[in-house]
Amino acid sequence: MSDATTKPAVPDRLLILSVFVVASCGLAYELIAGALSSYLLGDSVLQFSSIIGCYLFAMGVGSHLSKYVDDRDVLARFIDIELLVGLIGGLSATVLFLLFAWMSAPFRTVLYALVFALGVLVGMEIPLVMRVLHNKQARFSELVSRVLTFDYLGALAVSLLFPLVLAPKLGLSRTGFLFGMVNAAVALWTLRHYAADIPNVRARLTRGILVMTFLAGGLVMSEQLTRWAERGLYGDEVIFATTTPYQRLVLTRWKDDTRLHINGNLQFSSRDEHRYHEALVHPALQSMPWARSVLVLGGGDGLAVREILRHANVEHVTLVDLDPAMTGLFTRNSELARLNGGSLRNPRVTVLNADAGQWLDEHADVFDLIVADFPDPSNFGLGKLYSVPIYRLMARHLSDNGALVVQSTSPWFAPRSFWCIDATLREAGFHTHPYHAYVPSFGEWGFNLATRRPGYTPPTAYSIPTRFLDGETTRLMFRFPPDMKPLPVEANHLNNQRLVHYFEQDWGNVVR
């Protein structure tokens, strides 16, 4: 057997190595689509499952279509596909973000069309590479082993780099442009080393350079494009935006109103956040003048902590928030620190960045009050924080006369979600006292005050100055009119996550 059979030429070995690169790029585009749709549409399990299914099906279609490529045109078609994958994949995140911001109606259609198109093209890549190498007399068994090894290694590499480095450091748009340039580089490299076997080299070289230049320009301009898209999405001026390993944080401003958005969802408006945070904290703490220690889960903006610190009897507050970027932003930014009264720097406060569920499971500290200020249960990762097992964990951290307060979404817009949280707390062994308050930015909003013992009575007056609450307001907060009455719902368990389904159905019926 000749050396050409057992030892491929250098360009052929590099072509096998390029499988590692194209596999990385293909998976990167899939992850970008899944992450972006999760940010914008919520329900990460549904988004990733449907996108992966569509992508894999399309890859199968692409693999089938590859057999119709003539053997004489395999290299030329491979180069054309690499340039097309680079162009479509590189632009995908930015196009989808702009589309959602300025014309949300066709977003899902375009999302799945892009995923399917990329899947078809990526599905053609590996079969074409294998045909190129097999035509050059490479041993088939060794060829399959090498190609698939590099294919799987490429997928492993990007699956680790994407959540740890690429998404948090570059963002989704720049990551897309970067991988698009990598696809274009593979096309240009292949063109250089196999020029003698490829027709119309000059024309393909020109297209490759144009694609590379276009993607490089997109990489440079991606931050401006993202800000422009977010301006359309939020309507107000974007003054800060960052993508962390956990979420997309965006701050906007209009006149004297500063707003925080997480994954596209409004978290607070500086004009009326006092209503939300006074309602969250004071009905519990005013009735607990003996309370000394408070645990806040979530609430990394420090606004709930600000209200807690107004009670002189509280000696220590522990804040557990997953995202250090969130707590860091509201600690270091002077404007945001003024908004929360510098609460995260207060000597009575300890800030910990950890998963709330894990922290509760691993620590034995006992508190007089726990405030669960988590984002709405829009996906299964958040839904677990509203489940029976988590509430039972919280009960272990409460003193005998302690209380737990949970933000519970809207009893008006999401009634099944609200009463599901109430039912979940009761199944976890709490006595519940649901209440609601009107916050202009959100509408009617709901809370649940839960105690280990019965007998809670809402306060009739407050010992600290308040902007929103007084005795009469509080009395009405704990009364529900007939159109917000309790509904028969199931409790939220980890194995069924009924709350997430209720939340999707409730908010899906809201005309925005």
Does the pLDDT at position 1 exceed 50?
no
Structure tokens at 349: 């406060």
Mean pLDDT score of the chain? 88
Mean pLDDT across the stretch 278-283? 98
Burial 369-382 (b: 16+ CB within 10 A, else e): bbbbbbbbbbbbbb
At residue 42, φ and ψ (nearest 5 deg) are 80, -175
pLDDT at 249: 86
SS (H, E, C) 161-214: HHHHHHHHHHHHHHHHHHHHHHHHHHHHHHHHHCHHHCCCHHHHHHHHHHHHHH
Query: Would the CATH topology of 3-234 be identical to that of 271-508?
Result: no
Distance CA 304, CA 343 (A): 9
pLDDT digits (tens, 9 = 90+) for 76-126: 999 999 999 999 999 998 888 788 766 655 888 889 999 999 999 999 988
pLDDT above 50 for 4: no
Whole-angstrom CA distances from 397 to 163, 285, 295, 381, 472 are: 32, 17, 9, 22, 32
| Of residues 278, 282, 260, the one with CA closest to residue 336 | 260
Residue 215 carries which side chain, given as an amino acid letter? L
CA 465 to chain centre: 38
Answer whether CATH 3.10.20.740 is correct for domain 271-508: no
411 against 7, higher pLDDT = 411
Most confident of 245-249, 335-339, 421-425: 421-425
Q: Which of 373, 376, 422, 506 is catalytic?
A: 373
Tokens of 145: 């082993």
For position 437, what pLDDT does the model report? 97
Confidence class for position 135, pLDDT limits 50, 70, 90: low
Identify the pLDDT of residue 22. 85
Say how far apart CA 59 and CA 461 lie, in whole Å: 65
CATH number of the domain at 3-234, out of 3.90.180.10, 1.20.1250.20, 2.40.50.140, 1.10.260.40? 1.20.1250.20
**Which backbone phi and psi does 347 adopt, to 5 degrees?**
-65, -15
**Can 321 be counted among the known catalytic residues?**
no
Q: Is the pLDDT of residue 53 over 60?
A: yes
- Domain-wise residue ranges, the chain: 3-234, 239-266, 271-508
Alpha-carbon distance of 229 to 223, in angstroms, equals 10
Burial of 510 (0-12, 13-18, 19+ CB in 10 A): exposed
Confidence at 247, pLDDT banded by 50, 70, 90: confident
Element (H, E) at 434: strand 431-439
Average pLDDT of the residues in 19-33: 87
Of 64-78, 307-321, 336-350, the poorest mean pLDDT is in 64-78
What pLDDT score was predicted for residue 11? 55
81: tokens are 């596909």
Question: 418-450 burial, b if ≥16 CB within 10 A, otherwise e?
Answer: bbbbbbbbbbbebebbbbbbbbebbeebbbbbb
Q: What is the pLDDT of residues 160-185, one digit of tens each?
A: 888 778 877 788 888 999 999 999 99
Res. 324 pLDDT band, cuts 50 70 90: very high
Residue 508 has phi, psi (to 5 degrees) of -65, -25
Looking at residue 293, what is its pLDDT? Answer: 97
Across the range 288-310, mean pLDDT stands at: 96
Residue 93 has a pLDDT of 87
Please report the pLDDT score of residue 363 as a whole number.
93
CB 186 within 8 A of CB 82: yes
Confidence class for position 367, pLDDT limits 50, 70, 90: very high
